[in-house]
Amino acid sequence: MDVVVLGHIIIETVVFPDGSVLTPVLGSPAAYSSVAMARLGNRVGLCTKVGKDIPKEFIEVFNRAGVDLKGMRIVGRESTRNKLIYTTPESKRVEYLSKAPDIEFYDIPDTFKEASLFYLCPMDYEVPPRVVEKLANEGKEVVVDLGGYGGATSATHPDGAESKLSVTIEVVSMCGIIKASIEDCRYIFGETHTSEPERHYADKLLTMGAKRVVITLGSKGVYYADMDVNKRFPPLACKAIDPTGAGDAFAAGMIHGYLWDKGDIDTMIMFGQATACCVVERTGGVIPERMPSKEEVQQKLRKEVVNGRD
């Protein structure tokens, strides 16, 4: 196994900025990222909990993509359900209608525990810090998306309040790579009026113990920081028609690039950007056909080199 993804998959209702509604839809960072990583050629296992109400066609999506579902458990009647409400193409809020139980360390199948990397991308704290701690103590490489630890997909946000930051700090200090959107950072740390808000937020995360920080900036690109490097990556040229899943597709490509060439920051970030670009140029939600192959992403990157970005 190359990557094990932990997080709830959800039955989602999407409300777009123009008021149009799409439901029921398979959603969540765990769904998008696991299918995208599998399409890139990674051996991916998914750990999640769902209810008996999960549509069979949702399960078939993962089977068609080649995602290993040994870590999926059916517990109770209800899966996690929500409303994903886009106020703008790059700004959203989430309302939860029901939730499946938390995902614990013992929910990870033994066959998954030798994976190269664990990607934790909860919707709303459903992967507790004790799971992160257990993985870290066993020497596992862990990447975390902060959207579900107080960020944009969480029902409650710290918003800079120290008393509410404890869970986020605990998680951040135990992980190799922290991925967050600029929107997540605003929800977690509150607004900042500095000229470079992404650098301000990255410095906070590094102070909290993060080793590597990746902040996605939507249409403005990506910001990377560690204790020695600060680097801004401009956006790739994309003809976007559907922004849904862009951040999760970026994470999938970033992780693939990281596993492919661990020592190269540019490879990691630009592979993530190109993966997201391929996804937003198509529509259809979480389906294998929307996700690019490794060859398609490489072709997108070659075009960037031809156009002057190297």
Q: What are the tokens at 44?
A: 């991916």
Helix 29-39, helix 246-260: angle, nearest 10: 40
Give the residue from 106, 272, 92 showing the smallest Cα distance to 186: 92
Strand order, beta sheet including 10-15: 21-27, 10-15, 80-88, 91-98
Helix (H, G, I), strand (E, B) or coil at 104: coil
**Is 2:43 a contact under the CB 8 Å cutoff?**
yes
Burial class (CB in 10 A: 0-12, 13-18, 19+), 41: middle
Q: Residue 107: CB partners within 8 Å, gap ≥ 6? A: 47, 49, 71, 73
Q: Residue 308: CB partners within 8 Å, gap ≥ 6? A: none
Residue 142, φ and ψ in degrees, nearest 5: -125, 130
Given a cut of 60, whether residue 294 has pLDDT beyond it is: yes
pLDDT for 154: 94
Provide the whole-model pTM.
0.94
Q: Which DSSP letter does residue 5 get? A: E
What are 151-196's pLDDT values in tens digits? 999 999 999 898 889 999 999 999 999 999 999 999 999 999 999 9
What are 107-145's pLDDT values in tens digits? 999 999 999 899 999 999 999 999 999 999 999 999 999
Given a cut of 70, whether residue 7 has pLDDT beyond it is: yes
What's the CATH superfamily of 3-7+29-82+100-306? Ribokinase (3.40.1190.20)
Given a cut of 60, whether residue 310 has pLDDT beyond it is: no
pLDDT for 94: 86
Burial class (CB in 10 A: 0-12, 13-18, 19+), 105: middle
What are 14-39's pLDDT values in tens digits? 888 898 998 899 999 999 999 999 99
